[in-house]
Amino acid sequence: MTVHEDALNLPRRWRKPRRVFVNSMSDLFHPKVTDEFLAKVWAVMAASPQHVFQILTKRPTRMRSLLSDPNGEFQSEVGGWRYMHGETDTTILTPEIPSWGWPLPNVHIGVSVEDQEQADRRIPPLERTPAAVRFISAEPLLGEILLGDHQRSLDWVIVGGESGPHARPMHPAWARSLRDQCETAGVPFFFKQWGEYAPTGAKVARRSTGWVMVEEIKRVGKRAAGRELDGQLWEQFPVTAS
């Protein structure tokens, strides 16, 4: 894993508000990312209140450990806005947004959950992590997920199918189930894509213990599969604190 410290200061230069997916190609809480670098990331986000930062991880235990201790060194350094890295030097920040407090209201944290096993493993540490917005990303969704009591602690659910040459299909019933759970609980739901596979609208007979009619799914390619679930775009977002 490569850490690009020279890119840390970029969000402060973007004046127009953006929704920023932090480290989208990797995991910010990977063991090779140091606590010091994570503190720098949080300090930059604190000094960039015009943006909303989204952080997704498969390592919620480390995330919870770093963000949950109010007396921890990580929070002390971030709370003092100690770090800011420029292209040629490192400077010390002064408190620019002292009234924001902790957790930062423009930082949304989430966990990747592709099936029930990972949901049961990763959502509980997320629930115990201080955050303005907590979300799950079920992409790729590889099995049915029942949120149960967890839905009360979530502010957003993202669902999507897998893409790429080795993509596995997402059953429409799995996506519909999460959508319906979100609607019942009043949780914003975002359907990102079908991926490589999509339902054709046809019913086909399949024999297991007996003949049953099931929904047909075919590999049609990501572009042809599209983003509509039951003929509708689902693009709901969580309410962002101001």
Nearest CA to 79 among 112, 48, 47?
47
Flag whether 133 is in a domain: yes
Residue 196 lies in a domain: yes
Quick check: is 159 in a domain? yes
Omega within 30 of 0 (cis) for the link into 140: yes
Domain interval for residue 175:
5-225
Q: Does residue 238 lie within any of the structural domains? A: no
Total number of domains constituting the chain: 1
List the pLDDT tens digit at each of the 242 positions of the chain: 555 566 677 787 888 999 999 987 789 999 999 888 888 888 888 888 889 999 999 999 999 998 887 666 676 666 655 544 444 444 444 444 445 677 889 999 999 999 999 999 999 999 999 999 999 999 999 999 999 999 999 999 999 999 999 999 999 999 999 999 999 999 999 999 999 999 988 888 776 666 677 888 999 999 999 999 999 999 999 987 54
Cβ neighbors of 17 (< 8 A, separation 6 or more) are 50, 51, 52
In a domain, 198, yes or no: yes
Question: What is the rounded CA–CA span in Å between residue 77 and residue 214?
Answer: 56
pTM of the predicted model as reported, rounded to 2 decimal places:
0.86
**Residue 41 within any structural domain of the chain:** yes
Residue 24 domain flag? yes
235: in domain: no
